[in-house]
Structure 1
Amino acid sequence: MQISKAMSDLMNAQIGNELGASNQYLQLSAYFDGQALKKLAELFKKQAEEEREHAMKFFDHLNEVGAPVNIPAIAAPKYDVASAEEAFKMAVDWEKEVTRQIYAMVDLSITEKDYASQNFLQWFVAEQVEEVSSMENYLAVVQRAGEKNLLMLEAYFSHQ
């Protein structure tokens, strides 16, 4: 089953978006590792791995439907993170942007009556609800704890 060029283009772009998110989360992991906050580093390393898995889901889907796979250039991650709060705000903003990207693909699949893509994308719709909610909750915890209590955050995240 072939999907439209427009859908293929969006899905190929999403591979790049997911790989870019993976790199950004890996950079945030390195930031926390440099601050000797190992649990926070692990959290973002796990997020990086999840984003790569998401990219691979799009990669595999494009191959399954016989569409070309064209992995775009990946932008460098932001290196100058100043605080834990900034890191989590970046994560929340990124997850909200990914949600908008997924919804755009869902909208196109509905317009094009592309039922295979609609079905495939439903997993991502549910995943984004969980991702945004988790990151917003983590951000709230970081904001309540404050930068001077990051060791308390380590203890909190060790129980998550």
Structure 2
Amino acid sequence: MTLKAAKPEDRESKFHQLLQKQVRSEFNASQQYIALAVWFDKSDLPRLAAHFYKQALEERNHGMMIVRFLMDNDISVHIPGTDEVRNEFNEARELVALALEQEREVTREIEMLAKTARAEDDYIGEQFMQWFLKEQVEEVSQMSTLLTVIDRANGNLFEVETFLTRENVGDGGEDPSAPEAAGGAV
């Protein structure tokens, strides 16, 4: 009797399928953050623009961390296209409220991934998701704080710019415990 080696696609579980979808979600978030950054950049708000350009890179890196995990576990990787992003806004609050809702949605997705890994007894997958769970707490917190600051500024976005210059919002994307990103983090 000859044993055939399992092909990577034969090993795909529901958890792995959800990870594939999460790559798309992370890339969509990255693209949306670029659109927000450009809006702030065009509005001559450099600190807000820089904040969202940085967020775009973080989300790209998150997607590439998942890609690396899949490759390292011999699971076929499919790089997805991205959805359309919103580009038209009337005021800064809309952009940050959108970012906060986006982070809350990603948190729900990450929680589902962790639950699925656990339900499938995929201990490696469950461990991988722990960093993302921690990261989402920070992501939601920073967007919530930024929205509060915008609300308190009563339309004076230079106060928000000053806040971002003075305060360290987020981890700067430099977490030594972060999973490796395929191709390296940027």
**TM-score, normalising length from structure 2?**
0.82
Secondary structure of the corresponding residue to residue 69 of structure 1 = coil
- 2:139 maps to 131
C-alpha contact (below 8 Å) 1:13/1:71 kept by paired residues: no
Instruction: Determine which of 152, 158, 164 is the counterpart of 1:157.
Output: 164
Any stretches of 5+ residues in structure 1 without a counterpart?
none
1:142 to 127, 150, 167: 150
Q: Is the aligned partner of 1:79 residue 2:111?
A: no
Residue 52 in structure 1 maps to residue 60 in structure 2: yes
CA apart distance, 1:155: 1.2
Shift of 1:76: 1.7
SS of 1:116's partner is: helix
Alpha-carbon distance between aligned partners in 2 of 1:9 and 1:112, rounded to the nearest angstrom = 13
Q: For 1:80-119, what per-residue CA distance to the aligned partner results, in whole angstroms no more than 9, with x for missing partners?
A: 1221111110011000000000011111111100000001
Alignment match, 1:38: 46
Q: Give deviations 1:14-38, integer Å, cap 9, x for gaps.
A: 1110011000001100000010000
Distance 2:159 2:120 in 1: 50
Q: Which runs of 5+ in 2 are unaligned?
A: 1-7, 168-186
**RMSD (Å) for aligned C-alpha atoms:** 1.1
1:103 partner amino acid: E
- Structure 1 residue 138: deviation in Å? 0.6
- Give the CA deviation at 1:6: 1.3
Letter paired with 1:153: V
TM-score normalized by the length of structure 1: 0.95
CA radius of gyration, larger in: 2
Matched residue count? 158
Q: Are 1:8 and 1:68, in contact at CA under 8 Å, matched by a contact in 2?
A: no
Structure 2 counterpart of 1:54, which letter? H
Deviation track 1:55-88 (CA, whole Å, cap 9, x = no partner) reads 0100000001111111222102101122111111
Q: Quick one: distance in 2 between partners of 1:129 and 1:116?
A: 21
Cα distance in 1 between the residues matched to 2:82 and 2:61 = 16
Which of the pair is proportionally richer in helix?
1
Q: Partner letter of residue 79 of structure 2?
A: I
